[in-house]
Amino acid sequence: MKRKSLKTGSESEFYFVIETKGTSDINDKKALTESEVYRIKCAMKHFEALGVEVHYKAPVKEYSYFKTEATKTINSLIEQA
């Protein structure tokens, strides 16, 4: 998630929620239970309804994958600013 800092309005803050799974594919029915898929989709709809800018990389098999993808997303957002 991204929001403008309240201090000067020129900084950006990024928040991450990480839960690693045995897959990086939300359609992998062997690795994710139906309940896990519903929770991921519910989170997507929740933040969409709040109007919060969110970039999903879910599910995540390994932290190193998340870190690489998060860095790409952050760099892209910084370039757009």
pTM above 0.85, yes or no: no
Domain assignment of residue 46, yes or no? yes
Domain assignment of residue 68, yes or no? yes
Each residue's pLDDT tens digit, 20-34: 778 878 888 888 899
Domain assignment of residue 12, yes or no? no
Q: Number of folded domains in the chain?
A: 1
pLDDT confidence of 65, banded at 50, 70, 90?
Answer: confident
Domain assignment of residue 1, yes or no? no
Domain assignment of residue 9, yes or no? no
Q: State how far the alpha carbon of 46 is from the alpha carbons of 36, 38, 49, 61, in Å.
A: 15, 12, 5, 23
Q: Which domain does 60 fall in, by range? A: 26-80
Domain assignment of residue 31, yes or no? yes
Domain assignment of residue 74, yes or no? yes
Above 60 in pLDDT, residue 3?
Answer: no
pLDDT for the residue 14: 72
Q: State how far the alpha carbon of 48 is from the alpha carbons of 7, 62, 79, in Å.
A: 26, 25, 23
